[in-house]
Chains A and B, each alone.
Chain A
Amino acid sequence: MLLLDWILIVIAGWLILGFAGIGVLRNTAFVARVLFPAGAALGMALAGLAFAGLLGTPETAVLAIGLPDLPFHLRLDGLSAFFLLVIGAISVGVSVFAAGYFRHGEGTPPGLMCLEYHLFLASMALVVLADDAYAFMVMWETMALSSFFLVTANHRVPAIREAGFLYLLIAHIGAIGILLCFGVLQANTGDYTFANMRAQSLSPLWASVAFLLATVGFGAKAGILPLHVWLPEAHPAAPSPVSALMSAVMLKTAIYGLLRVSFDLLGAQQWWWGVLLLAVGLATALYGVVFSAVQTDMKRLLAYSSIENIGLLFVGIGLGVLFNAYGMKALSALALTAALYHALGHAFFKSLLFLATGSVLHSTGERSLGKLGGLMRRMPWVAWLSLVGVLASSGLPPFSGFVSEWLLLQSFLFTTGLPDSFLNMLVPVLAAGIALVAALAGYTMVKFYGVIFLGQPREPKLADAHPASPLERAGLVWLGAGCVLLGLFPVAAIGLIDPVTQLLVGGGIAETVRANGWLLLSPSSPDRASYSPLVFLLVVSVAVLFAAVLVRKFYHGRLRRAPAWDCGYPAQTARMQDTAEGFGQPIRQIFEPFFRMRRELPSPFDAKPHYRVTIEDHFWHWLYLPVARLTAGIARVVGRLQQGRIAIYLLYSFVTLMVLLVVVKS
């Protein structure tokens, strides 16, 4: 049997598990203890198969389902295998976590949740396997719909329904873009298989049209700048395992689609496509991270952080397109490797962090950062594993985020070699923007981690917080291990990405990297730049250990416990710690033009003073509300047709008939 057949069996297994959930609609124990762990096992199998698929040759299959004479074409190649690996590996952690997470009485019954969840996984896997536009769109929409129902699991809350609607709306705008893009790509041949699209050579104008449509379509799903508004609404609304899957995996299917269209289906690339992706990506990253820094809801903060990471991915892809357009294969492969590495790393650390917020939410019932704090003592497993995720997310060595951001900056350093004089002056400047984003991401993560886990509990009820269940911990450990391994063994991981870049640009950096041995990572040559995570870890650990021993031995001897100086104000409570608002305040000041801010300052004579600040998105007022008003206005005008009188309606048909008859006659 071919690998693809086995993969299809795994996907069918997911679907069977999902429909089994319908049979035991309200049996939470069975769904949680049997179906979700079985789904995790299948996810593991999928990851293994995808791993084998990365190293193997492309395989194709034609499924017997679909419309008559319009079957589903599937294809497993390096690019799809890589994203299947992401889907499989992340789903293991998330499914195990979900087995311990879903409880009684949260809107949608657990059996239905199980169906939607596994349908979501299966459709994502089939999206990356699809080899014709028809199968792709069917799976894409299945993915959007199943995730919509997952987001609105708690549909009795009006805000969640609104978030779901916004998500569905933007998902459909994106789908229209993708559909039109495929329409352009098939170049009037009427054959919608990807093989045919590869064979077509479009004129530069039409190729650009297809590329722009793909950018808008996939960008809407990924959350690039003007289309990002659904992310901070939908992610907090969804249950945590769902937010984790959406942010870690579903956003990546959009990246997959962009890569598939712009590198694989469209033949020759134009340099300005790369510049466009670079500009949009950098703007998105900066916007995302700045908003992330001022959020006070932990899941919204992570959602904005996802926007930032998607921006970084777009920057990497844009750089890849730019190099590729000038025929610099090796550098293009370097930039793409950085982007794909970041996609993999982000999938691990962002799902880890979303799941950790889920544990915190279950244990405390609180999502607002202002009411959390000091949870490290209550939930040590979650806290330590979150620390791994947070460090990876801030791009600190020796975790995965550092490797990918370092590779990205490395590839920026080569942009001075671009043959266009404007580009080789301007593009390197963007690297400074990336550095700013990375620094602000670190700031945001310090805020996230510090406010939730460190310090004193801000509310008395936090004393009752219970630690995460063993299954939840197991899921977090799996994802945390991914972050660590990706950070420690970058050379091996780049070997995984190599087949993808070979497929996309016909080059790879695995050869160069392996030449220096597995210990040292050096994308071009060791003289220029190199990084050895294991050595780094060793040095850091030794230094920390040494310092700890020294402090304990020499300093602790002189320890004297005494009350801290209370600034002359003895009535201090835990609420007086630095808050999330306080921590984000400098960013709010510096980046003030980014926000639409309303502040209510309390009067000095107020006995119960309240301080309230609301931060809104400019795009909401610049783009979305005008469009909504325009739509409502047009609807009002058209609505005048609706008179409510049957005679008038009949008259409409009558007049139409007469006019048509006259037209036909003349």
Chain B
Amino acid sequence: MNTLLSQSINLFAVVLLVLAFAMIAQRRILTLIHLFTLQGAALAAATLIVGYLTGQHHLYFSGVLTFVLKVVLIPILLHRVIRRLNVRWDVETLFNIPTTMLIGIVLVIFAFNLAAPIAGLSESVARGTLGIALACVLLSFLMMIVRAKAVPQVIGFLSMENGLFFAATAATSGMPMIVELGIAFDVLVGILILGVFMFQIREQFDSLDIRHLEKLKED
């Protein structure tokens, strides 16, 4: 049973990575949100399993918290935002998608290379997945860089937080409860503020294309 469960952690980790690649490849915003929801669910499941295996009950709380926040609340907020802004079908990236995927592969290799010595020091059951977590962070970062619209950037930002959270769980069996609560709250507040910003940008430029913000530069 336990071997099966610890194998399943690796499975969820792989799911996270595949979803991160899928998000880079995805052009539609609606699908992006679905992918993000799935990523949140995988993260919550992985957290719960790590909690069960190590007997650290506070991880249950963070698992539940992740589920409520990233599978229920934030996707609902994002859905409302794109419905009201009417940007469900927006498609545009700064680079073409195959190039981005290639860069992503390089990043994954780099992340694994980087994580190898650190993983050796860790005693967590999920230590093998640290490289994947790091790769998720870098891929989400890449996604933020290559997207030209505001909503995908916000999703990239949230997905990066997922990767960080997973890294914390994988390497050190979770952060202290208070820190996790703080971060969860920050993410929630952050998404609200970013939502407001998106409405403001839209109002100012009649578009969510962040390239318009270049005009704000001081000469």
Contacts and interface: CB of A to CB of B under 8 A. Distances in A.
Interface of A: 642-647, 650-651, 653-654, 657-658, 661-662, 665
Given A657-B141, A665-B114, A645 B214 contact: yes
Contacts of B217: 642-644
B113 to A, nearest CB: 8
B213 A646 contact: yes
B84 interface: no
B145 A654 contact: yes
A156 to B, nearest CB: 26
Contacts of B179: none
A641 to B, nearest CB: 11
Given A646-B153, A665-B117, A651 B145 contact: yes
12 contacts: A642-B217, A642-B218, A644-B214, A644-B215, A644-B217, A646-B210, A647-B94, A647-B145, A647-B146, A651-B145, A654-B141, A665-B113
B144 interface: yes
Interface core residue of A647, A651, A654, A661 (most chain B CB under 10 Å): A647
Nearest to B94: A647
B100 to A, nearest CB: 12
A658 B217 CA distance: 27
Interface string B18-36: 0000000000000000000
B80 to A, nearest CB: 23
Nearest to A665: B114
Contact of B216 (A644, A647, A658): A644
A102 B117 CA distance: 73
A661 B153 CA distance: 23
A644 B213 contact: yes
B144 A650 contact: yes
A650 B145 contact: yes
A665 B144 CA distance: 25
A658 B114 CA distance: 10
Interface string B93-126: 0100000000000000010011001000000000
Contacts of B145: 647, 650-651, 654
Contacts, number: 35
Contacts of B213: 644-646
Nearest to A648: B145
A472 to B, nearest CB: 48
A662 B215 CA distance: 35
A326 B216 CA distance: 65
B137 to A, nearest CB: 9
Nearest to B148: A647
Interface centre among A645, A650, A657, A665 (most CB of B within 10 A): A650
Contacts of B117: 665
Contacts of B144: 650
B28 to A, nearest CB: 20
Most chain B C-beta atoms within 10 Å of own C-beta, residue among A642, A644, A657:
A644
A646 B94 CA distance: 12
Nearest to A649: B145
- Chain B interface, DSSP helix/strand/loop, else mixed: helix
A651 B138 CA distance: 12
A2 B117 CA distance: 66
A435 B86 CA distance: 85
Contacts of A650: 141, 144-145
Contacts of A646: 153, 210, 213
A643 B110 CA distance: 28
Nearest to B213: A646
Nearest to A647: B145
Contacts of B218: 642
Nearest to B218: A642
A484 to B, nearest CB: 59
A658 B142 CA distance: 12
A642 B213 CA distance: 12
A647 B218 CA distance: 17
A661 B141 contact: no
Contacts of B210: 646-647
Nearest to A653: B141
A651 B141 CA distance: 9
B186 to A, nearest CB: 18
Interface string B144-161: 111010000100000000
A307 B3 CA distance: 84
A653 B142 CA distance: 11
A535 B58 CA distance: 93
Given A643-B214, A650-B145, A665-B114, 11 more contacts: A642-B217, A642-B218, A644-B216, A644-B217, A646-B213, A647-B145, A650-B144, A651-B145, A654-B141, A654-B145, A662-B114
Contacts of A647: 94, 145-146, 148, 210
The 5 closest A-B pairs by CB, nearest first: A644-B217, A644-B214, A650-B145, A646-B210, A647-B145
B147 to A, nearest CB: 8
B96 to A, nearest CB: 15
Nearest to B216: A644
Nearest to B141: A654
Nearest to A654: B141
Interface string B198-218: 000000000000110111111
Contacts of B146: 647
Contacts of B153: 646
A115 B215 CA distance: 43
B115 to A, nearest CB: 9
Contacts of B142: 654
A192 to B, nearest CB: 33
A226 B176 CA distance: 56
Nearest to B146: A647
A330 B120 CA distance: 74
B131 to A, nearest CB: 12
Contacts of A657: 141
A642 B214 CA distance: 10
Nearest to A664: B114
A662 B138 CA distance: 14
Nearest to A642: B217
Contacts of A643: 214, 217
Nearest to B145: A650
B198 to A, nearest CB: 13
Contacts of A665: 113-114, 117
Contacts of A661: 114
Interface string B127-147: 000000000000001101110
A147 B94 CA distance: 53
Contacts of A658: 110
B146 to A, nearest CB: 7
Interface string B76-97: 0000000000000000001000
A654 B216 CA distance: 23
B99 to A, nearest CB: 14
Nearest to B214: A644
